[in-house]
Amino acid sequence: MKSWISNHPIAVLTLLSALMFLPGLSSLPPLDRDESRFVQATTQMLETQNFLLPFYQETPRSKKPVGIYWLQSASTETLSDAPWRQIWTYRLPSAIAAWLAVLLTFAIGRELFDRKTAFLAGGLLALTLLVAVEARIAKTDATLLATTLLAMWGLTRAYAKDVKGAPAGPLAFVAFWGGLGLATLIKGPIGPAVVGLTLIGLWIGRGHVRYLKALRPAWGILLLLAVIAPWPLALYASGELGFIIEAAKEDLLPKLTGGQEGHGAPMGFYFLTSYLTLWPISLLALPALAWNWRNRLDANIGFLLAWIIPSWLMFEWVPTKLVHYILPVFPALVLLVANSARQGLPALTYKWAYRAQVLFWGLISVALSAGFTVAAILFNSPLWIALPLTVIVGIGAIIGLRGAWQRNIQQMLVAFCVLSGGALPWMASAYAPSLSYFWVSPRIAEALPADTSVLAATGFHEPSLVFLTDTQTKLVAPEDVALTLSQDPFAVGLVERRKLKKFNEKAQELGLEVVVLDEMRGQNLANGRDLTLHLLRAK
């Protein structure tokens, strides 16, 4: 068995990725707000057959380039039929991208280190919490990770072959420039910024960029333009080039100048949150960084540090911060972790810092373990679903803490497999969907009468409601809900308790009498607000 695993690393990493990324794709309801905005915009592309500009209802969605919408459209149109409301078809590109990221991490590791280190790094990336989460969300970040890694593999190959004095070959050229182009179509300048900052870091550390010759920049820029240019040219031909300008004004510039949409955070945010986003691998992150820093003069370790440090500083400097922004740095981190783990976790200079971070990791793991059952009790989820998670995470945390305290690397790796492989697929496929108190939109969609002509909602305007009901769903003021019901006997109104007074005043003015079809309670995950919703229809 051990020899089969060592002889078939890609097959093993593929099986591991399937375990970590596929469960929950269909059972986890659409998430608010970003995922549901993406999938609704893609749905409207399929409805209108306009694949040039994404729209969310009547509003152009200029937040991101068109690449992710094309991928989701291709997946959904191939695997489902109208009205295209099966969420898993939109999520599949993210799951595939996460799998490709695992394989590309292995490929980068092969260029820098030996096969076993590369295999360990690929496996560790698959077990990481943030990667497992993003693999199940139909938005840009998993795909950005894969496309950025494609470019980084090309750069890594050119760099590593230059160190060895060997030719890089044409694949490095195609991967580097093609990956940059694809990353740009997915999320604009973020992928190229990570690659560019790595080049700056390498120039500072190595004093030359000789390896760039293998990437043939003159021809490469033409390849980059060939990948990127068709979309803006099509926008120009249709008179819609202003879409790109609006994207920069509405999405990129606000992130650089302030905490966009309330997502500001101080410097150090990513360092602190990495203990959760990298969990459970974060147990090894600090000692791995310390050991690799002591060996930073090694050419391959220096490459990974040049990848991590400038990009990490960029993400910490940008005022707008969300935990997933740092994802393109994670493969370099797990490669350093794998490299140090293969050395048997050498002794550290500051033992107190090592023990403090072990205890911090333990607190996070204990909080997660207890949190599953506590949340199930508070929100009436079945305990039989929550208790296995509590037990698995508790056992894994004990194994990990014992291994860390004894500096036993094999025990820690076993703990990672127990924690991620045992807990994350069950959490995504069974536990999270069972917390029905938080999944308001699916309950509303299920409660709608079959003959509903249109839904008019007030007090709950989340995009998941539009995706699960209909593009024509009205997100309006309470007075407009009353007006809609008075004009259409087959319309249904959704009124949140806080909006009932204004709705009733308008209904009385119109002489409208209503019947309550359903009343439901829940919590809006997007803002944490408790809801009491009334589903109404004219008598």
SS3 string, 363-387, reads HHHHHHHHHHHHHHHHCCCCHHHHH
Residue whose C-alpha is closest to residue 228's, from 151, 312, 171: 151
3-class SS shares of the chain: helix, strand, coil, % to 5: 70, 5, 25
Can you read off the two tokens belonging to residue 442? 């699916």
Q: What is the pLDDT of residue 309?
A: 95
Q: What is the pLDDT of residue 96?
A: 98
Q: Is the pLDDT of residue 349 over 60?
A: no
Rounded to an integer, the average pLDDT of 94-111 is 98
Q: Is the pLDDT of residue 251 over 70?
A: no
Facing residues of 141 across strands?
none
pLDDT band at 268 (very low <50, low <70, confident <90, very high): confident
Rounded to an integer, the average pLDDT of 110-121 is 95
Can you read off the two tokens belonging to residue 210? 């000789």
Q: What is the pLDDT of residue 254?
A: 56
H-run or E-run covering 524: strand 514-524
Q: What is the pLDDT of residue 62?
A: 76
Q: Which CA distances in Å does 82 have to 35, 58, 73, 447, 512?
A: 19, 20, 12, 21, 35
- Reported as half-sphere exposure (CB side, CA atoms, 13 A), residue 337 has a value of 29
Start-to-end CA distance of the chain, whole Å, equals 69
Q: What is the pLDDT of residue 163?
A: 86
SS3 482: helix
Q: What is the pLDDT of residue 210?
A: 84
Instruction: Note the pLDDT tens digit of each residue in 169-200.
Output: 899 999 999 999 999 999 989 999 999 999 99
Q: What is the mean pLDDT of the chain?
A: 91
Residue whose C-alpha is closest to residue 174's, from 141, 150, 192: 150
Rounded distance between C-alpha atoms, residue 284 and residue 339, angstroms: 11
Q: Which CA distances in Å does 348 have to 66, 119, 120, 301, 343?
A: 47, 25, 22, 18, 13
Q: What is the pLDDT of residue 391?
A: 95
Q: What is the pLDDT of residue 1?
A: 57
Instruction: Note the pLDDT tens digit of each residue in 10-38.
Output: 999 999 999 999 999 999 999 998 999 99
Q: What is the pLDDT of residue 488?
A: 94
pLDDT band at 243 (very low <50, low <70, confident <90, very high): confident
Q: Is the pLDDT of residue 249 over 80?
A: no
pLDDT band at 255 (very low <50, low <70, confident <90, very high): low
